[in-house]
Amino acid sequence: MWSDLDCDVKEQYELKHMTTMGVGGPCAYYLAPRSLATLEPLYARCRELGLPVLAVGNGSNLLADDAGYDGAVIHLGRRLKGMRVEGDTLIAEAGLPMPRLAWAMAKQGIAGFEFMAGIPGTVGGGVVMNAGCIGKDTAGVLTAITYLDEAGVLHRKPAAKLGLGFRSSSLQGTRSLILQAEFRMQRGDEQQDVMARTRAAADIRKDKFPLHVATVGSTFKSPPAGPHPGRLIEEVGLKGHRIGGAEISRVHANWIINLGSATAQDVKRLMHVMQETVLRKLGIEMEPEVLIV
């Protein structure tokens, strides 16, 4: 079925092994392409077989269901991590970790990517979520993407037509598959200044958030103008609240931690308690940032 395609294949592979939260049941097929050239025929094969497709980079913003996924998971973050420079454009493959991109640019004194050092996701996921940190986001440097639409047709689309908003894009909720992204390179800054800003962005996570834990990071979106969910959740007394193996972090209340035995259902129930309590006590509705599969 897959032997003629250049990819690793596993059947009934659990999504908990692909997500930073460490929860999620088995998918029908796990597919890890070894090159960008494999993606188009691989996606076409999934369509021929009638398989729904889920693209996963680092799995840092996904909450996968305990029942798993009855389709094919294409793991872009396994090998598709290349990048190259063409003139003033940086072209990065979808599976490239954003911190790696940030540091690579900083070492060359190229500005604009510093904020990515504080984001645990990959380029593909960063585009879909318009990921951001320290007041900057992906939309600020993105110029175009190459992707396969839901019919398997290859496109190159400028960033201006992606509907990029606060932690959102028109790609969310679709089965489009990003191959690579193009970014504008800003030259002229002193290399030591870019390195310092990149280091500061990376240090934000160390200073504000729990480290070395199983989590998806921010559970609910934090609007630039506030109010920030972490403060709201703490205000209603839920910091440290636990359901099953899932706990609201005692370090940052907008993070849910898998203590080691959490199920996706535990996390979902805890999210519901957070939303319902904040709405009931403070009249504020929080919008999930985590993507539920």
Mean pLDDT by 10 residues, the chain (293 residues): 96 96 97 96 96 94 96 96 96 97 96 93 95 92 96 95 95 93 91 94 77 89 88 97 97 95 98 98 95 91
Q: How confident is the model at residue 128, as a pLDDT?
A: 95
Please give the structure tokens belonging to residue 65. 């269901």
Cα–Cα distances (Å) from 211 to 120, 123, 185, 203, in that order, read 12, 22, 31, 11
Q: How far apart (Å, rounded) are the C-alpha atoms in residues 278 and 286?
A: 8
Beta-bridge partners for 14: 26
Q: How confident is the model at residue 148, as a pLDDT?
A: 96
Polymer length in residues for the chain = 293
Q: How confident is the model at residue 51, as a pLDDT?
A: 96
Catalytic residue among 14, 93, 247, 289: 289
Q: How far apart (Å, rounded) are the C-alpha atoms in residues 181 and 192?
A: 26
Beta-bridge partners for 26: 14
Q: How confident is the model at residue 189, as a pLDDT?
A: 82
Active site residue 167: yes
Q: How confident is the model at residue 49, as a pLDDT?
A: 96
- CA–chain centroid gap for 284, Å, is 25
Q: How confident is the model at residue 223, as a pLDDT?
A: 84
Residues 83, 101 contacting (CB under 8 angstroms): yes
Active site residue 182: no
**Containing H/E element for 103?**
helix 98-107
Q: Which domains does the chain have, with CATH numbers?
A: 7-75 (3.30.43.10), 83-208 (3.30.465.10), 229-287 (3.90.78.10)
**pTM over cut 0.75:** yes
Task: Compute, in degrees rounded to 10, the torsion defined by CA atoms 159, 78, 12, 150.
Answer: 20
Q: ∠ at Cα 115 (110, 121), nearest 5°?
A: 110
Active site residue 289: yes
Cα–Cα distances (Å) from 131 to 86, 126, 222, 261, 284, in that order, read 24, 5, 12, 29, 23
φ/ψ (deg, to 5) at 176: -70, 150
Q: How confident is the model at residue 228, as a pLDDT?
A: 93
Catalytic residue among 14, 78, 114, 167: 167
- Backbone region of residue 157 per phi and psi (left: phi > 0; alpha: psi in -120 to 50; beta: other values): beta
Residues 103, 198 contacting (CB under 8 angstroms): yes
- Supply the DSSP symbol for 17: G
Task: Compute, in degrees rounded to 10, the torsion defined by CA atoms 39, 44, 48, 52.
Answer: 60
Q: How confident is the model at residue 134, as a pLDDT?
A: 86
Q: How confident is the model at residue 241, as a pLDDT?
A: 98
Catalytic residue among 169, 218, 222, 249: 218
